[in-house]
A and B are shown apart, each in its own frame.
Chain A
Amino acid sequence: MEKWEMSFKLFTSLAALVALAACESTDETRSGMHDWPTPSATVEGPVPGSAEHFKQNGQDRVFFGFDQSKVSPDAAKTLEAQAAFAKEYPSTNYLVEGHCDERGTAEYNMALGERRANSVVKTLVAHGVDKSRLQTVSYGKERATGQHDMDRNATTVVR
């Protein structure tokens, strides 16, 4: 029994070795044919300090309660991360967009969206980000998708 098991193990590892060798030879042929300096080009990630980098950290948006513009504890954490990013990349500038859900009047929501954007700016400035790097815009309810909890937000965009 044991002897049989042993020879089976030997056989499988030999088979694996052969397979590996086959793979390697294929790779060699390919690289020889095309002479690529990097045989496996992949996207490493966004350029540090870019708009994509900022978004990738999941920190570009904070959410608000109904008819509210106060920064919640959750939002405060996100804004702290935004401020840290801004300090790490001092050449970046930002546009803070205030948004509202659709269940309000368009004109009042323009004002409310501006209030939300301004809350974010005030918080970022309190964390040491220079005010001259921050601009605000309100979209009111004009960009509301119908998902109310998500629509009530301020989105910071690297310009």
Chain B
Amino acid sequence: MYKILIGFLVICHSFAEMTIDITQGQMAPTPIAVTPLYGATTTSVEVGRKISAVITANLERSGLFKPVDEKAFVQTMASLEKGPKFSEWRLINTHILMQGRVTEDKGHIRVEFKLFDIATEKQMEGWALKGTLDEWRRMAHKISDVIYKRVTGESGYFDTKIVYVSKVGPKGRAVSRLVIMDQDGFNPLYLTSGQSLVTSPRFSPNLHQITYLDFVNNKPRVWLMNTNTQKKELVGNFPGMTFAPRFSPNGKEMVMSLAKDGQTSLYSITLASKEVKRLTREPVIDTSPSYSPDGTKICFNSDRAGRTQIYIMDKEGGSPTRISYGQGSYRSPIWSPRGDLIAFVKITGGTFYLGVMRADGSGERLLTQGWIIDDVCWAPNGRVLMFTRGDKKHTKSYTIDLTGYNERQVPTATDSMSSSWSPLIP
């Protein structure tokens, strides 16, 4: 049994009498043997190996699985075709075994796979997938999602996209471009040319649309883009600059900030009718709005009480209630897709933290810290968070498990920020 124990990490600030606990994570990654898919032709053997490698990488990166080294495998692919020898796999401490085959016909492939529980010697899953040969990567992600769900009990997040802002060049003068890619960094595609400054892309729940901020003609405003056609459209006709956009969970409305005359307020817009509703009116900064997953509430940060704090209000703007009361500033709250937690950035004592709290403000936990932490978002399963970590020279996107364990850099070719996770692709 592998057990990775991340102990209490207590950071003491010299100038403030406080201690901050970075959450303790306890993880026991499940040992899994992802065997190469069996194939009868050269092409099917090759594609079978590639699919297994992508599955292995996905599961390893999640931190919840520990892939068994291929060199330790106790059966050949051909022998596995006749069934697993459970006792032998048990000897090398394998808990789960994945085995399967690929058949190929004129550019189409059919992938079958089975999942076995070594302890009970029972089959857990058995599925077949069909597609064109060049869809092998998506098949690998779909299989990863099935395995993840069966073993962890939570839905997966592998057959998803990430959109982020690529930054190239010296700080302050870097060229920024939107990039969309698979969650594991493959198939990157530039969505903008780099001519204007862009930031904060976010996926629509209907997947093929993003909203983002574009400074075209020195006017920072919220835009929509179809990621397939790359057609762009301005959102609404607002008198000032608009930013911090988010879709409602049904994708029919958006909420965003409008800044004008030194005041930043929240507005919603119904996309079909273009009907605009003003949600807040205080002479303050209200920004970073995010809908609850049931669409009835909005959390946001506001400096109406001095330092920025997190508030929750009805989606029409009624009864704003402060929920954060800890030391420092709280910013960029974002509701978990599960609805129970709100993730946020906390700034205190000159350090930035990524944290989560319950939607009523209780149970605050800090997951990680840095020179700059920003742009927090959730994987569609609400188990993994993604964020930007910046040091004095670079900014990169990272993922981290909700327990505060398994922080990983998101594989991007350039400096990256403002990463956002798509829903699961159906």
Q: Which residues of B contact A69 (CB under 8 A)?
A: 262
Measured CB to CB, the closest approach of chain A to B213, in angstroms, equals 8
Is there an interface contact between B241 and A138, defined as CB atoms closer than 8 Å?
yes
Is there an interface contact between A110 and B243, defined as CB atoms closer than 8 Å?
yes
Chain A: CB-nearest residue to B376: A105
A75 at the interface (CB under 8 A from B): no
Is there an interface contact between B257 and A111, defined as CB atoms closer than 8 Å?
yes
Stretch at the interface among A9-17, A43-51, A52-60, A141-149: A141-149
CA distance A98 to B64 in the complex (A): 45
Is there an interface contact between A142 and B308, defined as CB atoms closer than 8 Å?
no
CA distance A103 to B349 in the complex (A): 12
B372 at the interface (CB under 8 A from A): yes
Is there an interface contact between B345 and A105, defined as CB atoms closer than 8 Å?
yes
Is there an interface contact between A118 and B262, defined as CB atoms closer than 8 Å?
yes
Is there an interface contact between B372 and A110, defined as CB atoms closer than 8 Å?
no
Chain A: CB-nearest residue to B289: A107
CA distance A119 to B261 in the complex (A): 9
A106 at the interface (CB under 8 A from B): yes
CA distance A107 to B199 in the complex (A): 10
Q: Which residues of B contact A114 (CB under 8 A)?
A: 240-241, 259-260, 262, 264
Main secondary structure on A side of the interface with B: mixed
Please encode chain B, from 260 to 271, with 1 for each CB lying within 8 Å of some chain A CB and 0 for all others: 111010000000
Chain B: CB-nearest residue to A145: B172
CA distance A146 to B308 in the complex (A): 23
Contact for B390 among A102, A108, A137, CB less than 8 A: A102
B331 at the interface (CB under 8 A from A): yes
CB-CB contacts below 8 Å: B170-184 with A: 170-173, 176
Contact for B264 among A95, A111, A143, CB less than 8 A: A111
B218 at the interface (CB under 8 A from A): yes
Q: Which residues of A contact B173 (CB under 8 A)?
A: 143, 145
B332 at the interface (CB under 8 A from A): yes
CA distance A122 to B261 in the complex (A): 9
Chain A: CB-nearest residue to B170: A145
Known: A106-B375, A118-B262. A137 touches B287 (CB 8 A): no
Measured CB to CB, the closest approach of chain B to A118, in angstroms, equals 4
Is there an interface contact between B259 and A102, defined as CB atoms closer than 8 Å?
no
Number of interface residues of A (CB under 8 A): 27
B90 at the interface (CB under 8 A from A): no
CA distance A82 to B189 in the complex (A): 45
Please encode chain B, from 64 to 99, with 1 for each CB lying within 8 Å of some chain A CB and 0 for all others: 000000000000000000000000000000000000
A124 at the interface (CB under 8 A from B): no
Known: A105-B288, A108-B285, A110-B220. A146 touches B172 (CB 8 A): yes
Q: Which residues of B contact A102 (CB under 8 A)?
A: 171, 372, 390
Q: Which residues of B contact A142 (CB under 8 A)?
A: 176, 197, 199, 215
Measured CB to CB, the closest approach of chain B to A7, in angstroms, equals 65
Is there an interface contact between A105 and B331, defined as CB atoms closer than 8 Å?
yes
Is there an interface contact between A145 and B287, defined as CB atoms closer than 8 Å?
no
CA distance A146 to B95 in the complex (A): 49
A86 at the interface (CB under 8 A from B): no
A61 at the interface (CB under 8 A from B): no
A129 at the interface (CB under 8 A from B): no
Please encode chain A, from 125 to 159, with 1 for each CB lying within 8 Å of some chain B CB and 0 for all others: 00000000000011110111110000100000000
Measured CB to CB, the closest approach of chain A to B371, in angstroms, equals 8
Please encode chain B, from 10 to 23, with 1 for each CB lying within 8 Å of some chain A CB and 0 for all others: 00000000000000
Is there an interface contact between B390 and A110, defined as CB atoms closer than 8 Å?
no
Contact for A110 among B219, B241, B260, B308, CB less than 8 A: B241
Is there an interface contact between A137 and B418, defined as CB atoms closer than 8 Å?
no
CB-CB contacts below 8 Å: B214-262 with A: 215, 218-220, 240-241, 243-244, 257, 259-262
Known: A102-B372, A138-B220. A107 touches B262 (CB 8 A): no
Q: Which residues of B contact A108 (CB under 8 A)?
A: 285, 287-288, 301, 308, 331-332
Is there an interface contact between A146 and B171, defined as CB atoms closer than 8 Å?
yes
Contact for B244 among A103, A110, A139, CB less than 8 A: A110
Known: A95-B218, A142-B197, A145-B172. A115 touches B285 (CB 8 A): yes
Q: Which of A111, A115, A142: most chain B CB closer than 10 A?
A: A111
Please encode chain A, from 70 to 113, with 1 for each CB lying within 8 Å of some chain B CB and 0 for all others: 00000000000000000000000001000000111111101110
Measured CB to CB, the closest approach of chain A to B241, in angstroms, equals 6
Measured CB to CB, the closest approach of chain B to A117, in angstroms, equals 8
Question: Which 8 pairs from chain A and chain B are nearest by CB?
Answer: A118-B262, A145-B172, A111-B264, A114-B259, A111-B285, A107-B244, A105-B331, A107-B288
For the A-B complex with A106-B375, A108-B308, A110-B259 known, give 16 more contacts whose Cβ atoms are closer than 8 Å: A105-B332, A106-B199, A106-B417, A110-B220, A110-B241, A110-B264, A110-B287, A111-B257, A111-B287, A119-B262, A137-B241, A142-B199, A144-B172, A145-B173, A146-B392, A151-B172
29 A-B pairs with CB atoms under 8 Å apart are A95-B218, A103-B352, A103-B372, A104-B331, A105-B288, A105-B331, A105-B374, A105-B375, A107-B200, A107-B244, A107-B332, A111-B259, A111-B287, A114-B259, A114-B262, A114-B264, A122-B262, A137-B215, A137-B218, A137-B219, A138-B220, A139-B197, A139-B220, A142-B176, A142-B197, A142-B199, A142-B215, A144-B172, A146-B172
